[in-house]
Amino acid sequence: MNNEEIEIKYSDSIPPIYEALNKYFGVQWKDGICITYGDTMYCSRPVTRPDLVEHEKVHVRQQALTSPEEWYAKYIHNAEFRLDQELEAYRAQVGWLKDPKNVKYTTREMRRHLIEVLAEQLSSSVYGKIIIYKNALALLK
């Protein structure tokens, strides 16, 4: 299954896994976080960025290999697994930004800035500081 085949649902309600993610990583719903659980993308704010949807579609596909419950159990307790899963999702997001059919939405400078922001996110406490910024940036470029 590739991202184009994935149908994703949207909800502005708090996802079933939120309390665990808040406990382990300190994520805050009010900060505008998006969390995918199963085939649903839960976001506290309207989703306006197609690149973010591409990221979350990767998580839909990843979770479908087992179940959301099994995937999150491993995701929360295994930093190597979490990095692997997030790198795949962030690379899909960067790929969308760099795709020639999508470059009309951003300038080269905007894409560079967005990739830097994505590297900051990947290296943040939201993911348990699983990678340093410099390495995250190098892996996303």
Closest CA to 8 of 28, 32, 35: 35
Percentage of residues of the chain with pLDDT beyond 90: 88
Whole-structure pTM over 0.85, yes or no? yes
CA distances (Å), origin 39, targets 57, 102, 126? 8, 24, 21
pLDDT in tens, 30-66: 999 999 999 999 999 999 999 999 999 999 999 999 9
pLDDT, position 102: 86
60: left (phi over 0), alpha (psi -120 to 50) or beta: alpha
Residues of the chain with pLDDT under 50: none
Q: What angle do CA 27, 31, 37 make, to 5 degrees?
A: 55
Count of CB atoms within 10 A of residue 55's CB?
Answer: 25
pLDDT, position 67: 98
